[in-house]
Amino acid sequence: MASSSSDEEFRQWIPFRQRPEWSDVKPLPQDDGPSPVVPIAYKDSFVETMDYFRALYHGDERSFRALSLTSEAIQLNPGNYTVWHFRRLILEALEVDLQNELDFTEAVARVTDTCRHHRRWIAEKLGTIATSKELEFTRKILSLDAKHYHAWSHRQWVLQTLGGWDDELSYCDELLEEDIFNNSAWNQRYFVITNSPLHGGLKAMRTSEVSYTVKAVIAYPENESSWRYLRGLYKDDNHSWVNDAQVSSACLKVLSAKNNYVFALSTLLDLICHGFQPNQEFRDIVDALGTPDSDRQGSDLAKSICSVLERVDPIRANYWRWRRSKLSQAV
Amino acid sequence: MGELAAEKHVEYILSVEKKKDSFESVVMEHLRMNGAYWGLTTLDLLGKLHAVDVDQIVSWIIKCQHDSGGFGGNIGHDPHVLYTLSAVQVLALFDKLDVLDIEKVSTYVAGLQNEDGSFSGDMWGEIDTRFSYIAICCLSLLHRLDKINVENAVSYIVSCKNLDGGFGCMPGGESHAGQIFCCVGALAITGALHHIDKDLLGWWLCERQVKSGGLNGRPEKLPDVCYSWWVLSSLIMIDRVHWINKEKLVKYILDCQDLDNGGISDRPDDAVDVYHTYFGVAGLSLLEYTGLKAIDPAYALPVDVVNRIFIGRQSKKES
């Protein structure tokens, strides 16, 4: 049963009790309390299909008719994990060509975790011949929901287990062009540059990635993901972080524009805490952001930054106050 | 600020339990065990656990157990750790853990640990840090943590730590508040919180609070009441909960209530469900909202239930 339209299914559907090839099966209702009272015929089909499923599951019948029954049950309720489990047992018993099975999952009306688990199991068995189909499958889900958490974890699993890294960085480019705020795409970018055998690793990619990210933070300074990514490029290398002029000048640029500067300020604070020596230009720009009496903390720029943040990011006032107190301790 | 419509929520939960014949209920029957945990824990937090038939629920739970020792989502369903933990948690609520063959259940759970320390959800092998938390929480409640390799379990979780201080489902997986709760909870239970950069993670977590006062699960996502639990419990476990604005969060949760029919939704004016009702009430409990029992942030059970399991009854202590 490949179609997914529920109306069509309803018109074509013949109750199991009327199908001669099922006459030997005694349906097993859900042992859950009083029998369900369901008003419309569509729900009848659901209940009856599940009653017949239970009968075969209970009898552990791993036949072709059982396989087609699981197809019907899955179309009606793709979330029921036990039906998928039993389907796998049947597939193993019948030694079905699993490439066709990938096509079956494509036809399932709603993509669920159960569907995804099933594909992973198939892909593990098929190996690298499944790679492009799996990448395509996740790409389809992500085209509808570019932040779908499980689609991303499935995609990462495919890349690590089966490969297919060739176009992954440009895929990230594509997604970030559509939505520069896509945290999953930024995470994937990091995943690619640190794991892909095709690139040289984090240090080798750093220069180009910094340029890419600096453009992003300047264009959309309120983007938490891009600032975090920038920081991540200097993993375990605070010295380079502090000394990269691109980073500090990006902060300066954003602060000068006096708009959406919270992350730029916290980045500057982070730089100072790691030894960055701000020149007069930085001091002037932070002063310009402060209100005359409240924020200026004498010559201590870091403290002034914390005061500004306390004021412009009030929902996290406690956090910024704590940051300021920590500065005193450091001294 | 509004108020918590406790009575309405109790009525809502009890009505969901009765509506087994609704189509939604029939379609979701495979995860009824989770639903039982969400509904019953909420009732307990609201001081109304006595409103249900304990014996009926306990005998239903037993029927959901598989030969392997694991529990399915409902009668006739295959076992999975997700439902095994919920079953153990519900029995804990009722102080009925003694109905279990503890050796059997813990053997099932421990058997799902892989060589690298990770845990699969069931026999089909999917790995996720959620399952690490579930296994560790479950075995801890049964006093059987010794059945797994704790050191390996911890090191696998640590391998899922990201640069932002957060955790994903697997190494390299995006930091997500739900996964973070699982990893922090597991590290808390195994006494391994020193692996966390609390300042860094605390900052990431408090950045989840948006203007409306609600919490999201990742940068640039919409707020959702369920994160009131996952973000908040994580912050409490790492001693950084004062970094969010509690008042605004309380207001957000209260705004997600359906004051007419009871229940809580993910966002104001959306449809309610038992899942979000639980997380909203649990979140309020963590925020010390009046009239609610205290909830343990690591075990996600009322504190008195956890104390009963680990400290024992007062009478035992006194003798």
Q: Say if the Cβ atoms of A30 and B74 lie within 8 Å.
A: yes
At B23 the pLDDT is 65
> Within an 8 Å CB–CB cutoff, is residue A319 touching chain B?
yes
Q: Which residues of B touch A54 (CB under 8 A)?
A: 76
- Residue B19's pLDDT band, with cuts at 50, 70 and 90, is confident
Residue B181 corresponds to which tokens in the numbers above?
């709760």
Candidate from A159-173, A214-228, A285-299, B49-63 with smallest mean pLDDT: A285-299
> For residue range B230-255, what is the model confidence (pLDDT) as tens digits?
999 999 999 999 999 999 999 999 99
When CB atoms are compared, the residue of A32, A120, A319 closest to B203 is A319
Q: How far apart are the first and last CA of chain B?
A: 47
* CA atoms A209, A212, A215, A217: torsion sign: negative
At A269 the pLDDT is 97
At A36 the pLDDT is 40
When CB atoms are compared, the residue of B72, B175, B245 closest to A315 is B245
- Residue A4's pLDDT band, with cuts at 50, 70 and 90, is very low
> For residue range B293-306, what is the model confidence (pLDDT) as tens digits?
999 999 999 999 99
| Distance in angstroms (rounded) separating the CA atoms of residues B129 and B135 | 10
- Residue A30's pLDDT band, with cuts at 50, 70 and 90, is confident
Q: Say if the Cβ atoms of B219 and A224 lie within 8 Å.
A: yes
Single-letter amino acid code for the residue at A152: W
| Distance in angstroms (rounded) separating the CA atoms of residues B172 and A191 | 6
Cα B94 to Cα A32, A195, B55, B263, B278: the distances in Å are: 21, 48, 10, 23, 17
- Angle (nearest 5°) at CA A30 between A28 and A35: 105
Q: Which residues of A touch B170 (CB under 8 A)?
A: 153, 156-157
Single-letter amino acid code for the residue at A38: V
| Distance in angstroms (rounded) separating the CA atoms of residues A64 and A330 | 72
Number of H helices, E strands in chain A: 18, 0
For residue A114, the Cα-to-chain-centroid distance in whole angstroms is 17
At A40 the pLDDT is 46
- Residue A293's pLDDT band, with cuts at 50, 70 and 90, is low
At B317 the pLDDT is 40
| Distance in angstroms (rounded) separating the CA atoms of residues A268 and A282 | 9
DSSP B73-115: SSTTPPP-HHHHHHHHHHHHHTT-GGGS-HHHHHHHHHTTB-T
Residues A291 and A308: beta-carbon distance below 8 Å: no
Q: Which residues of A touch B176 (CB under 8 A)?
A: 149
> Within an 8 Å CB–CB cutoff, is residue A321 touching chain B?
no
At A1 the pLDDT is 39
Minimum CA–CA partner of A41 in chain B: B23
Other CB atoms within 10 Å distance of the CB of residue A93: 14
Residues A248 and A209: beta-carbon distance below 8 Å: no
When CB atoms are compared, the residue of A117, A147, A228 closest to B124 is A117
> For residue range A5-16, what is the model confidence (pLDDT) as tens digits?
445 545 577 889
When CB atoms are compared, the residue of A36, A37, A152 closest to B174 is A152
Q: Say if the Cβ atoms of A182 and B28 lie within 8 Å.
A: no
Cα A250 to Cα A238, A257, A268, B10: the distances in Å are: 17, 11, 10, 53
pLDDT at B79 exceeding the cut of 80: yes
Residues B7 and B1: beta-carbon distance below 8 Å: no
Residue B178 corresponds to which tokens in the numbers above?
């739900």
Residues B60 and B75: beta-carbon distance below 8 Å: yes
> For residue range B130-189, what is the model confidence (pLDDT) as tens digits?
999 999 999 999 999 999 999 999 999 999 999 999 999 999 999 999 999 999 999 999
Interaxial angle between packed helices B227-237 and B177-189, expressed in degrees from 0 to 180 and rounded to the nearest 10: 40
- Residue A331's pLDDT band, with cuts at 50, 70 and 90, is very low
> For residue range A71-94, what is the model confidence (pLDDT) as tens digits?
999 998 898 999 999 999 999 999
Q: Which residues contact B66 (CB under 8 A, 6 or more apart)?
A: B72, B78, B79
- Residue A240's pLDDT band, with cuts at 50, 70 and 90, is very high
Single-letter amino acid code for the residue at A30: Q
Residue carrying the six token digits 């039982």: B36
> Within an 8 Å CB–CB cutoff, is residue A224 touching chain B?
yes
Q: Say if the Cβ atoms of A315 and B209 lie within 8 Å.
A: yes
At B240 the pLDDT is 98
Q: Which residues of A touch B174 (CB under 8 A)?
A: 149, 152, 183-184, 187-188
Q: Say if the Cβ atoms of A318 and B243 lie within 8 Å.
A: yes
Q: Which residues contact A320 (CB under 8 A, 6 or more apart)?
A: A306, A307, A309, A310, A313
At A295 the pLDDT is 53
**What percentage of chain B exceeds 70 in pLDDT?**
96
- Residue B1's pLDDT band, with cuts at 50, 70 and 90, is low
- ipTM attached to this prediction: 0.93
Q: Which residues of B touch A194 (CB under 8 A)?
A: 172
Beta strand spans in A132-195 (E): none
Which of B18, B22, B23 should be substituted to probe chain A, the one whose Cβ sees the most A Cβ atoms within 10 Å?
B23
Helix (H, G, I), strand (E, B) or coil at B302: strand
Instruction: Please tell me the distance in Å from A18's CA to the nearest CA on chain B.
Output: 23
Residues B87 and B65: beta-carbon distance below 8 Å: yes
Q: What is the pTM of this model?
A: 0.92
Q: Say if the Cβ atoms of B26 and A38 lie within 8 Å.
A: yes
When CB atoms are compared, the residue of A36, A88, A231 closest to B26 is A36
Q: Say if the Cβ atoms of A190 and B206 lie within 8 Å.
A: no
Number of H helices, E strands in chain B: 15, 2
At A47 the pLDDT is 87
Report which of A232, A311, A249, A276 is spatially closest to residue B204, judged by C-alpha positions.
A232
Q: What are phi and psi of B19, to 5 degrees?
A: -85, 50
Residues B183 and B167: beta-carbon distance below 8 Å: yes
- Residue A39's pLDDT band, with cuts at 50, 70 and 90, is very low
Minimum CA–CA partner of A150 in chain B: B169
Residues B80 and B70: beta-carbon distance below 8 Å: yes
Residue B286 corresponds to which tokens in the numbers above?
């963590």
Single-letter amino acid code for the residue at A133: K
More confident: A60 or A292: A60
Interaxial angle between packed helices B227-237 and B198-206, expressed in degrees from 0 to 180 and rounded to the nearest 10: 160
- Residue A34's pLDDT band, with cuts at 50, 70 and 90, is very low
Residues A37 and A71: beta-carbon distance below 8 Å: no
Instruction: Please give the mean pLDDT across all residues of chain B.
Output: 94
Instruction: Please tell me the distance in Å from A104's CA to the nearest CA on chain B.
Output: 19
Residues B60 and B52: beta-carbon distance below 8 Å: no
Instruction: Please give the mean pLDDT across all residues of chain A.
Output: 89
Q: Say if the Cβ atoms of A121 and B74 lie within 8 Å.
A: no
